């Protein structure tokens, strides 16, 4: 049943994305999730036993998201609300548009490219040259393909609307409190670890889909070699696969809050002069993976129906 509902949800997201005429009037569910995370952060992230308090916050978020999903799915025409909910919580069109905007911006000027890439990455962009901005866009494309498309699809396939809502609220919590800052190192531990677990299979599945979509069956050697070197236990898998398909090196040194970090390159033998054409290729690859995923889900739906 979930596979059958996921097909129109993916098509709807791929067609409309996040229309401004809707989300300019009402808050997006991701915004509401962010408000819930911020409220729990403000209420519980204080005093002693912050790791335990953070675990309680994550439990509240997970239970609340699951209950909300079950409630919506049980409404009249629940199948329709599940389709709409899944479409809203996936991000294929918006991801492709935001990544493409970086390539289009770089063709206008380096300053415009930096401005566009600053919308999708958390690192410092003011001193980026063109290759650094292009690499950042490609990395964001790969990582968010896993976080924003493949993982939500997989968790909807497994758990329907409750499943995708739980995944998205945990992913939102990780992005807000899962960083190792003095304030969140203890409180955000549970959110970060649960997000790692929920993305374990999707990240590796995304790498496989990227290699298939780019027809690089030899990508496995580089992915297995370089993914474990990445600062994230999951992001390195799709990033390495994307790098192999495009023939470029990604990751590497970058600056956060004025502090340069010496990160190793992923696929270091690749070109380091990435540019707008590589971003164009990355966006095309996003859509090929989306199509492969859609075909796979259709095959699952047909098998279950038979």
Task: Report d(CA 271, CA 125) in Å as an integer.
Answer: 21
pLDDT band at 10 (very low <50, low <70, confident <90, very high): very high
pLDDT grade, residue 32 (50/70/90)?
very high
Q: Are the C-beta atoms of 279 and 179 separated by less than 8 Å? A: no
pLDDT band at 21 (very low <50, low <70, confident <90, very high): confident
pLDDT band at 260 (very low <50, low <70, confident <90, very high): confident
Alpha-carbon 277 to chain mean position: 22
For residues 230 and 243, is the Cβ–Cβ distance under 8 A?
Answer: no
Q: Tell me the pTM.
A: 0.94
Question: Which DSSP symbol is given to 248?
Answer: B
Q: In the predicted model, is pLDDT for residue 68 greater than 80? A: yes
pLDDT: which is higher, 25 or 97: 97
What domain count does the chain have?
1
Predicted pLDDT of residue 256: 76
Location of structure tokens 């909910």: 85
76, β-bridge pairs: none
The distance in angstroms from the start CA to the end CA of the chain is 12
User: Do residues 157 and 2 touch, judged by C-beta distance below 8 A?
Assistant: yes
Residue the block writes with tokens 């409630």: 71
- Asked if the model's pLDDT at residue 104 lies above 90, the reply is yes
Query: Range of 86's domain?
Result: 2-305
Report the distance separating Cα 301 and Cα 303, nearest Å: 5
Mean pLDDT of 297-303: 92
């Amino acid at each position: 049943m979930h596979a059958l509902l996921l097909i129109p949800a993916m098509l709807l997201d791929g067609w409309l994305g996040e229309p401004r005429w809707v989300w300019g009037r009402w808050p997006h569910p991701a915004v509401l999730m962010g408000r819930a995370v911020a409220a729990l952060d403000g209420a519980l992230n204080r005093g002693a036993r912050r790791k335990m308090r953070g675990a309680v916050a994550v439990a509240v978020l997970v239970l609340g998201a699951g209950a909300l999903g079950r409630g919506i799915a049980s409404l009249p025409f629940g199948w329709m609300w599940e389709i709409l909910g899944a479409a809203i919580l996936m991000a294929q069109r918006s991801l492709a548009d935001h990544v493409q905007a970086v390539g289009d911006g770089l063709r206008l000027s380096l300053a415009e490219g930096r401005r566009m890439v600053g919308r999708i990455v958390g690192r410092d962009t003011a001193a980026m040259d063109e290759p650094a901005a292009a690499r950042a866009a490609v990395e964001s494309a790969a990582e968010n393909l896993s976080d924003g498309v493949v993982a939500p699809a997989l968790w909807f396939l497994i758990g329907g609307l409750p499943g995708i809502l739980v995944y998205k609220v945990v992913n939102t919590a990780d992005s807000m409190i899962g960083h190792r800052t003095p304030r969140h190192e203890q409180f955000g531990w549970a959110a970060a670890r649960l997000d790692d677990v929920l993305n374990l299979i999707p990240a590796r599945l995304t790498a496989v889909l990227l290699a298939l979509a780019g027809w690089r069956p030899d990508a496995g050697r580089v992915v297995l070699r370089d993914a474990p070197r990445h600062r994230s236990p999951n992001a390195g898998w799709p990033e390495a696969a994307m790098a192999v398909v495009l023939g470029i090196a990604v990751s590497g040194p970058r600056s956060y809050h004025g502090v340069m970090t010496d990160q190793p390159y992923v696929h270091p033998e690749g070109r380091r002069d990435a540019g707008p054409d590589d971003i164009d290729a990355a966006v095309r690859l996003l859509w090929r993976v989306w199509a492969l995923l859609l075909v796979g889900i259709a095959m699952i739906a047909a098998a279950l129906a038979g």
